[in-house]
Amino acid sequence: MPRPVVRVPCSVWRATGTTEGERAIPEETAIAFTFNTASYAVMMATPQDLEDFAVGFALTEGVISSLDAIDSIETVEEDAGIELRLWLKAKDATEFLGRRRKLAGPTGCGLCGVESLMEAMRPPPKVGKGLVLTQNQIMSAVESLFPRQDLNRETRAVHAAGFWDPERGLVALREDVGRHNALDKLAGALARDGATAEQGLVVLTSRVSIEMVQKSAATGAPIVAAVSAPTALAVRMAEACGMTLIAIARKDGFEVFTHPHRVKGTLESDVA
């Protein structure tokens, strides 16, 4: 399998002059998803945690409703990339083939190739009650992500998605060149561990767009916190599915955009 990080030569310019150097950069590989031999999607992604990616993508895209639908997964390296072959159980395969669509996505693109406006705007499932967290707990969750971002520390070029539990801290973290891919890998890791994101917080290093809300809701996450801002459509979608959306989470604080009742001490009248 390709290594997730490669080192390449480069010329380094600084105010003191130019030198020859070397830079660690993330690999970007074409990852093809097939379900019972039917082609479904091609995503550009970091070739790491691929079984998590396979499971998480199938779940967050609605191909399957639970891990039980998957009979087996094969990872096949080819000249042009890597094929993730998912074999669904008979009943689930029949349902999938009845509503199959094709998707082609560049890095982190979760909407390219959808066949209708309704597919792009599909409402996510309603999230559960979840927990009430303090501002300090939310800041702890955000701050816990960065020390664990091994790929980003080496390359400064990948996103991360993590799940934080108030009793256990940062339970899982996945990285990828694509923000959607990192979240899919996290969803797969949780599912394969028999867990959901219902009793904690999903933390993202990226902006929050509609598909990040859709995919987070598919993991059961009632609270999502991101270091960057959300889009207007993401805010509307989070409001509709009952999700507490926290963004622009930095060292000096954060902003709550929807359902602030899960953040202890937040005044609902202060939130747009």
Catalytic residues: 109
The DSSP-derived string for 189-236 is HHHHTT--STTSEEEESS-B-HHHHHHHHHTT-SEEEESSPBPHHHHH
Residues 247, 225: contact at Cβ < 8 Å?
yes
Those residues with Cβ within 8 angstroms of residue 104's Cβ, 6 or more apart along the chain or in another chain: 41, 42, 112, 113
Buried b vs exposed e over 208-242: b needs ≥16 C-beta within 10 Å? Answer: bbbbbbbbbbbbbbbbbbbbeebeeebbebbeebb
Report CA torsion sign: 89, 221, 245, 178.
Answer: negative
Looking at residue 123, the DSSP 8-state letter turns out to be P
How far apart CA 54 and CA 227 sit, in angstroms, is 26
Residue type, 26: P
Q: Around 233, how many Cα atoms within 13 Å sit in the side-chain half-sphere?
A: 10
Residues 103, 41: contact at Cβ < 8 Å?
yes
